Amino acid sequence: MTMRCPTCGGVYGDDARFCSRDGVRLVTATTTVMSASDTAAAIAAAAGAPAPTRVIAAVPTAGPVNHANMTGQVLEGRYEIVRKVGEGGMSYVYLAQDRTTGERYAIKILSPGLATEDNAMARLRREAELGAKLAHPNVCHIERLGEAQGGLVYVVMPFIEGEILSDRNYRVGRTTLADTVKFIGQIAAGLHMAHELGIVHRDLKPENIMICKDAAGVESAVVMDFGLAKERKPERASQKLTATGIILGTPEFMSPEQLRGKPLDARSDIFALALMTYEMLTGKLPWEGRTPQEMMVARLRQPPTPARTHRPDLPQAVDAVLLQSMAKTPEERHQSAPEFAQALRRAAE
Per-residue confidence (pLDDT) for residue 33, from 0 to 100? 36
Are the CB atoms for 189 and 257 separated by under 8 Å? no
Tell me what pLDDT residue 10 has: 61
280 with 321: CB under 8 angstroms?
no
Instruction: Report the C-alpha gap between 112 and 117 in whole angstroms.
Output: 9
Q: What is the pTM of this model?
A: 0.71
Percent of all residues in the chain with a pLDDT value above 70, rounded to a whole number: 68
Domain 163-348 has CATH 3.40.50.720: no
- Asked about 15 being catalytic, the answer comes back as no
pLDDT digits (tens, 9 = 90+) for 95-147: 999 999 999 998 888 776 665 666 666 766 776 777 677 778 898 877 877 77
- The enclosing H or E element of 209 equals strand 209-213
Using DSSP, state whether 203 is helix, strand or coil.
coil
CATH class of 74-158: alpha beta
Q: How confident is the model at residue 336 (pLDDT cuts 50, 70, 90)?
A: very high
Half-sphere exposure of 107 (CA within 13 A, CB side): 31
Q: What pLDDT is stored for residue 56 in this prediction? A: 26
Give the pLDDT confidence of 19-77 residue by residue, as tens digits: 555 445 666 554 333 333 344 444 344 444 443 333 222 223 333 446 777 888 888 88
pLDDT cut 90: percent of the chain above it = 32
Q: Given 38, 203, 225, 319, which residue is catalytic?
A: 203
